[in-house]
Amino acid sequence: MLEVGDGHSLYWEVSGNPDGKPAVALHGGPGSGSSPRLRSLFDPNRYRVVLFDQRNSGRSTPSATDPVVDLSANTTQHLIADIEALRVHVGIERWLVQGGSWGVTLALAYAQAYPERVTEMVLAAVTDGDRRDTDWITRDMGRVFPREWERFRDGVPSAERDGDLSAAYSRLLHDPDPEVRAKAARGWCEWEDTHMSLAPDAAPSLSVADPAFQLAFARLVTHYWSHGCFLEEGQLLRDIERLHGIPAVLIHGRYDVSGPLGTAWALHRAWPGSELVVLDDTGHGGGSMTSAIIAATDRFARDQGE
């Protein structure tokens, strides 16, 4: 556990080769927490891999599963500072940064703040945190999944259905009544599972998760989305020049309807040295995405050894 201030303590771990190529893996969500699966994205003989649970998620404390939790000290800027504090704590000079989904947004924000600390980047299911994209997920995709979206929209009071649905759900997720919180968490997670992929073999994950996990996940996603991910609109694309010279592989699924390919394409076009890998068998995850990430981390390990 690493104390990072504001009453927060982060769970972290290191695995692989102590003398290997340093890397940090940033989990998605926000709020998913890290998992042993992230270790499998790196060759343990070649990499020294750092995982951690972002504020209020996973094994970090305080937990967003608590009946009452204050998320005011949980912003993108706090998480960037946490990543840098962890790098210093474990004694790493520079590292490869890997992220998936929300972890891509966080990875880009961190790398733009500390480009001198980043050797390479491997980013899968590319997102940039813009309100344009969260509006797409919470409102515009009602044209793709009208029945499911109406159920999602109707999960908030009628007076709030034409406004910011993330903010409306966030209020419900902090309601004093545990039944109200649980219903909102379940409704949010059901909608997330709906829009993750158009791939025919896509399987639900969040809607069948433990209710405590659903609550923590939904609270953190809605907290970030209702605040524009604590970024200026267009910030990460605007500041992409800070990453020029950093090799990167961007990996995105053709069937990812919740995160249209255009975001990855725009970043790739503005980022010399980046490579865009489009997968024709997956959406926001699954399919060949894991093997594509491993291929990228293996290549960067080989490049270092040559």
Gap between the Cα atoms of 152 and 142, Å rounded:
9
Residue 192 near residue 165, CB atoms below 8 Å: no
Active-site residue (options: 130, 133, 164, 256):
256
284 given a catalytic annotation: yes
Distances (CA, A) of 207 to 70, 102, 217, 285: 25, 19, 11, 16
302 Cβ contact list (under 8 Å, min separation 6)? none
Active-site residue (options: 57, 101, 166, 170):
101
Which two three-digit tokens encode residue 182?
């649980």
DSSP string, 56-100: TSTT-BS-TTSSS---TT-SHHHHHHHHHHHHHHHT-SSEEEEEE
Alpha-carbon Rg for the chain, nearest whole angstrom, is 19
Altogether, the residues listed in the chain come to a count of: 306
78 given a catalytic annotation: no
Q: Which residues is 121 bridged to in the sheet?
A: 97, 248
34 given a catalytic annotation: no
Q: Which residues are catalytically annotated?
A: 101, 256, 284
